[in-house]
């Protein structure tokens, strides 16, 4: 009886452990360095020099230049705009992506591989402006 109970308990624990165990890459918030976490939580400090412009339109998506890895950015667009992040070849914004209402700000971070942002205006030709936080 004791051997059967112990066997059942071990089997249940093994199944539960197998169901819970996942590689770290499957979690949305992977462990990041303490310094980067602190940088991400504080208010954005805007550098001297102003905003960079991404010339979006309502007919074709436009892509930013390569952004700095592991940095925070703020983006604001003059028209409602679809936005997509990615690498140099997989970030073209389209109507399937999320969108940012005209005049709203979006704060985002880059990674070692996600270093571009793309925009496509919904209504009219306009531009998006981007600023790196310091």
CATH class of 46-134: mainly beta
Q: What is the pLDDT of residues 40-62, one digit of tens each?
A: 677 888 888 878 999 999 999 99
pLDDT number for residue 49:
82
E strand or H helix that includes residue 100: strand 99-100
- pLDDT of 10 strictly over 50: yes
Mean pLDDT score of the chain, rounded to an integer? 80
pLDDT number for residue 3:
56
- pLDDT of 14 strictly over 60: no
Let me know if 22 is exposed, middle or buried by CB neighbors in 10 A (0-12, 13-18, 19+).
exposed
> Model's pTM, two decimal places?
0.71
Q: Are 112 and 69 in contact (CB under 8 A)?
A: yes
Q: What percent of the chain is predicted at pLDDT more than 90?
A: 49
pLDDT number for residue 117:
95
Q: How confident is the model at residue 18 (pLDDT cuts 50, 70, 90)?
A: very low
């Amino acid at each position: 009886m004791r051997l059967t109970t112990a066997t059942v308990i071990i089997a249940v624990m093994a199944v539960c452990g197998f169901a819970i165990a996942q590689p770290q890459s499957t979690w949305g918030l992977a462990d990041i360095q303490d310094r980067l976490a602190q940088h991400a939580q504080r208010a954005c400090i805007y550098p001297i020099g102003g905003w960079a412009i991404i010339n979006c339109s309502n007919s074709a998506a436009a892509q930013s230049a390569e952004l700095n890895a592991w940095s925070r950015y703020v983006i604001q667009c003059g028209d409602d705009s679809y936005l997509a992040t990615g690498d140099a070849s997989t970030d073209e914004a389209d109507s399937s992506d999320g969108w940012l209402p005209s005049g709203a700000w979006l704060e985002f971070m880059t990674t070692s591989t996600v270093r571009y942002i793309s925009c496509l205006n919904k209504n009219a030709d306009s531009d998006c402006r981007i600023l790196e936080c310091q």
